[in-house]
Amino acid sequence: MTNSSRKLGLMEKVFESSEWCNIVKADGFLPFLCGSDLTKLDKEGSWVAMDKTEEPIYLALGLTHKEHTYPNAIDRSGLPHKDLFFKCLKRYKWSNEQRRDILLHDANIMLNISQYYTEDIHQVNTACITRLGQGVIGEDKFVPGLALSLGDEEATGVRALHLDVYLFFILEVWGITIVWQFYDPEDPSIDS
């Protein structure tokens, strides 16, 4: 399946309207939907044999900016257009507000939106990142990841890592390595 097919399929499952995506892209942001279990999508972007009795597919929203890889680090007031983001989403409910996970009802997608909450951004675990950089964590611990750009630039070298209570996505875009950290959906220590 091509990334453009997956992108279109996911966009239609996550967003009721493309207005939010168009505005943040016009502001210079590059949004991504990151996951490590997107093999359940067929070539048209539809779920393969997926119904509501199965566990939801977990995705995380990542945002970067060409001038500022981690835009929340410079604008502590939060990423722009949060109200519009919620307005453009398909029907949802909070699944685990502490983790910033929302469940998109009709698509069976669990979407982590912690990038919209600045108090979560500074929590990148320095010890985990140091272990990543020093090669202490063996390559066998990484799983293939997918970061679907909702813009024109695509990510390369995408990997995911479950480490401690975190789920990391490591990717490259614009020749820069980006590491995003989210709470691991498989770790029960953060209760709803």
Find the helix or strand (DSSP H, E) in which 5 lies.
helix 3-14
- Structurally, how many domains does the chain consist of? 1
Domain residues for 28? 3-122+145-153
- Is 115 contained in some domain? yes
pTM of the model: 0.78
Taking only the tens of pLDDT, the chain with its 192 residues reads 455 666 667 788 889 999 999 998 888 888 888 887 666 655 555 555 455 557 788 888 888 887 766 655 555 556 678 889 999 999 999 887 777 889 998 888 889 887 766 554 444 555 565 566 556 677 777 877 778 888 888 888 888 888 777 788 888 888 888 888 777 776 666 554
CA distance 115 to 117: 5
Give the distance between the most distant pair of CA atoms in the chain.
43
Q: How many CB atoms lie within 10 A of CB 26?
A: 8
What tokens does 40 get? Answer: 């359940």
Q: How many CB atoms lie within 10 A of CB 95?
A: 17
- Is 56 contained in some domain? yes
pLDDT in tens, 135-150: 667 777 787 777 888 8
CA distance 16 to 87: 8
- Is 135 contained in some domain? no
User: In this structure, what are the phi and psi dihedrals at residue 27, rounded to the nearest 5 degrees?
Assistant: -80, 0
**Cβ neighbours of residue 3 under 8 Å, at least 6 residues apart?**
148, 149, 154
- Is 130 contained in some domain? no
pLDDT in tens, 40-71: 655 555 555 455 557 788 888 888 887 766 65
- Is 177 contained in some domain? no
- Is 180 contained in some domain? no
pLDDT attached to residue 122: 43
- Is 89 contained in some domain? yes
- Is 62 contained in some domain? yes
